[in-house]
Structure formats: C-alpha cells, structure tokens
Structure 1
Amino acid sequence: MRRIWAALTTAAVTAAALTGCGLSSDTKSGDTAASAAAGEVKGKVSLQTWALKPKFTDYVQGVIDGFKKKYPGVEVEWLDQPGDGYSAKVLSQAAAGSLPDVVNLPPDFALPLAKQNLLLDVAKADPKLADEYVAGGVDAYRFAGQNGTFGYPWYLNTDVNYWSSELMAKYGLDPKAVPTSLDELIAQARVMKEKSGGSTYLMSRKPGLGDLVNAGVKVMSEDGRSFTFNTPEAAALLDRYRDAFKEGLLPKDVLTNTYAGNTKLFNSGTAAWTTGGGNFITSLATDNPTLAPKVVPSPAMGTPPLYVQGLSIPRSTKNPAAAVALARWITSPENQSAFAHLTSIFPSTKASADDPFFSKSDGTNAGDAKVIAFTSLAKAKILQPVPVDDAMSTVINQQIALAISGEATSKQALDTAVDRCNQLLKG
C-alpha cells in the first residue's frame, strides 16, 4: 500500500491540464442520471481501481461477488490500472468519453473532472451520503466554486504525532507531557537543545500550508479562484519559525535540498518528534526494532490532516442505479472494515466507530496510535487545498524557506508565493 499512499498524498501529475482540454457534458444528462440512480439495480456496470492488483485481487473480487449475490443478474467488469501514469489514463478516458461507471479518484484527480461537469453529484443521487460518511471525507469531494459532491469517500488516513520517550527523558523532558501546541513545542525544543548541546532536535521540519490553516489562515477564497494566505497571521507564524531557526532549535539544513527529512532524522535518533500515519509504529518495528517500543503517540496538533481515496461516478454513466449501488457497496462499513484488516487504512463510514478493531487499543503503543488516528478522522480535514499542485508546492516551500532563513521578510515571501500561485492557478 505504500505506493498507493505515496500517490495519494502528492498532487496529480498533469491533472490540471484537464481544465484546458475542452471536455464537457450536458447538464440535463447529469440531472437525469441523478434521478435515475434510484432505479432498479441490474445490467452491466464497470469498476476501475488504482493499483490494487495483484495484492488485493481476492479482496476486491470477493466484494464484487457479494454485490452480484445481493443483486442477481448484475454483471460487473473490474478494471485495475497500474500505479504509474494513472492520472494520464483517467485524462485519456475522459477525453474519449470512456470513463468506467465507478472510478477510483482521489480528490485532486476528481477536481478537474468536476470542473468540466463530467462527474455525477452523488449527494443529489444519494441523500444518505452526508449522514453515513464522516464529514471530512464527504467535504473532500466538495470543491470551491463547484456545486455538488463528486465522490464517495472510500479509505482514509491521517497523521499522528510520534515522540521518542528515550530522547525526551534523556534531555530533560517528560514523555508523558508531550507538546500539544506550537508554544509548548518551541519551549520544549529549547530545553532539548540546551540539554543536548545542540546535538538533538525536537523540531525538525519547516511549516507548510497545513500549519497556516491550523493558525487560522484562510488559504483560498471561497470561490477557489485565488490564494489568500498572505495574511498577518501567516506572517506571524513564519516569524516564530524564523526565530526558532535562528536560535538553533531546528537543523541547519532543514531549509536546503540536502535535508534528510523529518522521519529519517527521527529513525536515526537525531530528532525526537515526527508525524506519520496510524501504522507508523508497526512499520518502524521492521525498520528500527529498538526504537519502536520507545515511541509515544499523541494526536496531531490542531486539525488533523486527512488523506482520502474515493469513488466517483461519471455523469455519462448508462447505468446510474447500479453505479451508485456498487459505490455504496464497496464503501459499506463491512467491506471497508474487511479492507482495513488487510492493510493500513481506515474506513470512511460513521458506523465504523462502533467497530472495536478501530476504537479499542490492544494496550501496545502501536494499538494506541491506531485508535488515536481513527478517532482523529471524525474531525480531520484536507488541510492543503486540492488545487495546489507540484509547481505551487515548490513555490510555497521556496518562499517559506526564504522567510525562515531571513533572506526575505515573512510578508514579502508570502506575497510572492500568493502572486506566483495565483498566476499558476489561472494559467
């Protein structure tokens, strides 16, 4: 699943190009599809997933077989596309008018299709959507400037804070009282620096858009047509990181291309804090079995980030009733729970909160982390706006680095980042 989550947490390759391809769809046909979704479930329906074969072939085929048993006479064609080049494949299918009836699309892949009016408003077709799926998952498929909900949330993940109890105790900190705010983080980072002589860090990453959101900064306008994160509050946050960097509370190379990365520093014992998914300790037990038992998990500071995969339905589907029924079936609590037992993901349904597999720890730190992550999903949100692509991320990261290094004021850096990102958004 690493390749799935790696793809899920990065922007779609060339996905924004869809907005310039002249793709379109008739509004009336979409309204007809939404109303027809309540019809009889029968006939042929196609499903496209992303890089689930061969590891999860038995699982997906079992879900399909269960659907066919529930709806006798239905035929399901399952297509699974390779991980590499998936966005280009979806683009090609959309341009050719050959999108399958149910398509696995993360929000950043769904957005350009929604902009071209190619996706069914599943909330209109399925009034129970908001009642049965976690709010953040549903909101992930509601896009600024677009009227509708363009996907069923499928499997989810979020981040948890992880702390090295050994390093904290060694350098004068209490691993039972880990930081819960930026103020506490900076204060404890200062203690660790002083006690370790600067050899070990508590803070080891620069801020990003998610940190600005958690500081109350509005990153984009309501209509999604412009970025707005060059605010006094955003500048104040960067100023705090600049001061911390100047004080030596972060590694010197954290702003450079040679930076090893927060997780690598944590694994090597150079940093005492990192973030990761709910399964981080389990994977760490393989990579660093000595460190894993000494890790303490805690909830993400502020609003937890949400990572989403979902299922969308083209407005052009010739079998909307079967398409909606299949999407609901795949994302049902039972089928999502079965999937989560096989790999490190979490279900998107509210009913899953009653499943002890997710809601109760086995008493280990890994079990605690899983429960923390799952519980966090109830309030988790996509912190970085879906329209932010790789080019925009590069600009933002470069300008934040300039602000923290002191080569530009925070206001200058933010103004430049907003101006360049707005140009990219319009281009």
Structure 2
Amino acid sequence: MKKTLAILMTFTLLFVLTACGSSSQSATGNKDNGNTQGGKKETVTLEFWTLSLQPTFTDYINGIIKDFESENEGIKIKWTDLPYDAMQSKLVAQIAGSKAPDVVNIWTTLLLGMAGKDALVDLKTTASAEQLAPYLESLTKSNMIGDGMYGIPWYVTPPISTYNTELIQKAGFDNPPSNYKEMLAMAKQMKENTGAFLYFPNEMAQVLYSNGIEILSADKKSAAFNTPEALELLTEIKKGVDEGWMPKTDWNSWDQMIKLYAQDKLALISLGAQTVTRIENEAPGSVSKTAVRAPLLGNAGIAQGALQSLAIPKASKHQEEAIRFATFVASDKYLLEFAKLAAIMPTTQTASADPFFTSDTETLSGQARAEAAKATAVSFDLGLGVEKESEVTSTINGMFESIMQANKDPQTVLNDVEAKVNELLK
C-alpha cells in the first residue's frame, strides 16, 4: 500500500544499501569545505536528492532553495531530481564511493535499514532540541532505533475511515467501528444483514503492530510477536474468514477495496484521504452515500500511515548545514505549502493544526482533509531497522496465506514463522 500511495503522489524512493560505514569523506559536490582562504569564506554546497518531483513540484522546491540560500549566506543547494529507473544504480554507486548526498528523501523501512548500517547521522546527538521540537512524536518514533533518531519527518499520508452510510445503517449500526475490537464485533452482523464485508485488513505485520504486538525484541535480535495476544487476534480473524464474515483474499489491496466499495460489497476503507478522490473519480455513484471519520485504530491506538523523511548520511562533510537545510524544508511554512499542492499531510504540530485543513467542511474532500490532519497525530510507519527487513516483513506477512487461506492452525504458524524470523536475524 505504501508503494501505491507513493506512486499516486509521485513520491517514492528505491534505495539499496551496500557497504557504507561512517566515512568522513566529502559528499558529492562538497568540494568546498567551508574553510576561509585569503580572508574569504568558501561556499558550502549541499547535495539534495529527490525522486520524480520534476516538473510537477519544480517551482515549489526551487522556491524553498531560493529562500534558504537568501537566509543562509555562504550555503548553496545543488538539487538533483532522479527518475525512478535511475535512482537505484546511481545512489548505490555514490554510496559505494562514499559520495552520498547531504540530504536525501527516504522512506521509513530504508531509513532504518541505513541507520542499522551506521550510515546515517543520529539527529538526537547532532541536531538541537529546538530543531527537533516541532515534529509530532508519533512520527519521530517511526525514525528511531533505540534512543537514536535518523530522519526528519517530511510528510505523511495518514489514514482516515471512508464508509458507506447506507450499508452501516442497513446493518443496524449508527456509526462505523472506531477500533479493531469494535470491527471484529460488528463484522459478522454486517455480512449477515447486508451481504457486504465490513473491512479489509492491512498486511499482517501492520495488523499485529497496530494492535500493540511488538514485531521484534528491543535489541532486534529475535521475534517478539508470538504472544497470547497475537494468537487471540489471529484466531478471531480466522474464525471470521472460516465463517465468511471476514475476507479470505485481497487483504491490503486498495484497488479491490475500491471495486467492492463501488458495488456496495464493502462498507469501510481505512486508508489515506486519496480514497475519497478515487471514489469520486472511479465510483461517482457512491459519493452521495459516503462519509468520512477518524481512522480505524488498532488496540494500541495507532493506525498505519506512509511517512517520508529527510536523512543526513554520515558521509556528508557538512552535517550541521545539512540539518539546517532539512529542517528548513520540513518547516511549518513549506509543509503547509506542500499540503496545498499534493495529497500529503504536514509532520509538525503547528502546520498540521493550521485552519486550512478544517476550512472546508462542506465538501467530502474537505472533510477528508480535516480528518487526515487530525489522524496525523496517531499515525505510525512500521520499520524494523534490521538488515534483512524486507525478508522479515515478507515472512510475517506470509502468515496471512498460511492461516487464512491454507487453513493452518494459528499457533503452529506463529511458531513456524517465529523460527524463520529468528533465523533471518542471526
């Protein structure tokens, strides 16, 4: 789902980390070291890398750069915008040559993977408390390993609940569920009274984590999800699948959710505010019976939302200036401007509370934007921060097929997957 959302907003980052230590060599383009020669201070040039922002956001990014340079004499920004197909090979080559950019836009899983390789600056020890203070706590936690923080939250796509009011009423409810416990209690009645599913879950790892079940131990050396709470949750969901009131296939499939929603076969979608846009474009007949509210929360009181951040590679020779620029880009003013150009939400407390997000309460899209702004505070982006993160996550997500489709015993599957994850972590 992260990938789908990122494509929709033209933001994604494909990042393959190869051997990258804490090199102190200069980043690409940083030939000027800021020293003073002949009484004249040399210009510091920072490399800033983004992906596929041109031409849609060219003026926006250039405007930020112009403002920053005018307020920070002696610092120049070299912006490199790479096409999707070129990002992997170019970035890998630069990292291998200890020439990573000074500031790079990266998503959570890859950010934590880099941090685990000691390739990123720990902002908790290098940035000031004042620089880190504006950001929402739930989002900064997504960029942390232990006490270290390795990225400035840039923008987030928080989920909201988009639901069919007619189906909710037909099922005998006044409102849609607000959390997983309510969802599981209401799903059977929804199916019996309307023939529609109430909800499609996300991927298994997200389901577990949002319901307060840790994926890995604190030291990240072993699996932590094989718990009585996990067994109880998976057993209840499997019961729903076996009895037909929970979907057996297509979990986390946004396209399938939109299709079924348009056919009055799904009552609730808890994903980004772009869901409303898709319904308006792809299922216009459903708009009049669609409403929005806060996202469906797990029992931990959080919901998954895709986060993009700005990281500072250790290879940067101008870390102080890079942090200054990253926090400038991700500051209230420019985050708010960004939110007015794209379907994203700010990551700071002040910008996310701006009246812009609640100024339109008449239209469905305006209501969706307002709910998304509020949901920013309860959003998380699951990143494990381990070398084989994709393999670990894929293994955990594979429990869905084993339990729900292959009809295997949940405890047996939990045991087997725990052993596989522990082996990957060795």
Number of residues paired by the alignment?
409
Match for residue 208 of structure 1?
A: 204
Q: Does 1:112 align with 2:109?
A: no
Match for residue 80 of structure 1?
A: 81
Structure 2 distance, partners of 1:194, 1:359, is 37
- How far the C-alpha of 1:85 sits from its partner, in A, is 5.3
Correspondence for 2:268 among 268, 273, 283: 273
Structure 1 distance, partners of 2:179, 2:56, is 40
The DSSP-based 3-state class of the residue aligned with 1:291 is: helix
- Point out the more displaced range, 239-248 or 402-411: 402-411
- How far the C-alpha of 1:173 sits from its partner, in A, is 2.9
1:2-401 → structure 2 map (5 Å cutoff): 5-6=6-7, 15=16, 18=17, 21-25=18-22, 43-84=44-85, 86-127=87-128, 128-144=130-146, 148-169=148-169, 171-174=170-173, 176-196=174-194, 198=195, 200-205=196-201, 208-254=204-250, 261-300=256-295, 301-302=297-298, 303-383=302-382, 385-387=384-386, 389-401=389-401
Match for residue 32 of structure 1?
A: none
**Alignment gaps of 5+ in structure 1:** 30-35
- Point out the more displaced range, 302-311 or 383-392: 383-392
Change in CA separation of 1:41 and 1:371 when aligned onto 2, cut-off 3 Å: farther
- How far the C-alpha of 1:339 sits from its partner, in A, is 0.9
Structure 2 distance, partners of 1:253, 1:123, is 42
The DSSP-based 3-state class of the residue aligned with 2:193 is: helix
Contact 2:24 2:317 in 1 (8 A): no
Change in CA separation of 1:307 and 1:3 when aligned onto 2, cut-off 3 Å: closer
Contact 1:41 1:74 in 2 (8 A): no
- Over the matched positions of the two proteins, sequence identity in percent amounts to 26
Listed one character per residue, the Cα deviations across residues 34-70 of structure 1 (whole Å, up to 9, x for unaligned) are xx99xx9952222111221111111111111111111
Structure 2 distance, partners of 1:322, 1:97, is 19
Change in CA separation of 1:404 and 1:11 when aligned onto 2, cut-off 3 Å: farther
Contact 2:150 2:311 in 1 (8 A): yes
Structure 2 distance, partners of 1:309, 1:284, is 25
Listed one character per residue, the Cα deviations across residues 352-395 of structure 1 (whole Å, up to 9, x for unaligned) are 14411124442333222222221121232224535474433433
Contact 2:358 2:367 in 1 (8 A): no
Change in CA separation of 1:10 and 1:210 when aligned onto 2, cut-off 3 Å: farther
Contact 1:134 1:350 in 2 (8 A): yes
The DSSP-based 3-state class of the residue aligned with 1:276 is: strand
Change in CA separation of 1:412 and 1:88 when aligned onto 2, cut-off 3 Å: farther
- How far the C-alpha of 1:87 sits from its partner, in A, is 4.3
The DSSP-based 3-state class of the residue aligned with 1:140 is: helix
Structure 2 distance, partners of 1:424, 1:227, is 10
Contact 2:45 2:76 in 1 (8 A): yes
Structure 2 distance, partners of 1:71, 1:412, is 60
Match for residue 30 of structure 2?
A: none
- Point out the more displaced range, 349-358 or 228-237: 349-358
- How far the C-alpha of 1:245 sits from its partner, in A, is 1.3
Structure 1 distance, partners of 2:254, 2:123, is 43
CA RMSD after TM alignment: 3.4
Change in CA separation of 1:78 and 1:254 when aligned onto 2, cut-off 3 Å: closer
Contact 2:190 2:197 in 1 (8 A): yes
- How far the C-alpha of 1:342 sits from its partner, in A, is 0.4
Instruction: Give 2:117's aligned amino acid.
Output: Q
Contact 2:396 2:417 in 1 (8 A): yes
Structure 2 distance, partners of 1:384, 1:295, is 32
Structure 2 distance, partners of 1:107, 1:135, is 15
Change in CA separation of 1:135 and 1:85 when aligned onto 2, cut-off 3 Å: farther
Listed one character per residue, the Cα deviations across residues 104-130 of structure 1 (whole Å, up to 9, x for unaligned) are 122222223222322222232222244
Structure 2 distance, partners of 1:249, 1:71, is 59
Instruction: Give 1:324's aligned amino acid.
Output: I
Structure 2 distance, partners of 1:311, 1:259, is 27
The DSSP-based 3-state class of the residue aligned with 2:303 is: coil
TM-score for the superposition, normalised by structure 2: 0.85
The DSSP-based 3-state class of the residue aligned with 1:336 is: helix
Structure 2 distance, partners of 1:179, 1:345, is 25
- Point out the more displaced range, 185-194 or 126-135: 185-194
Contact 1:106 1:308 in 2 (8 A): yes
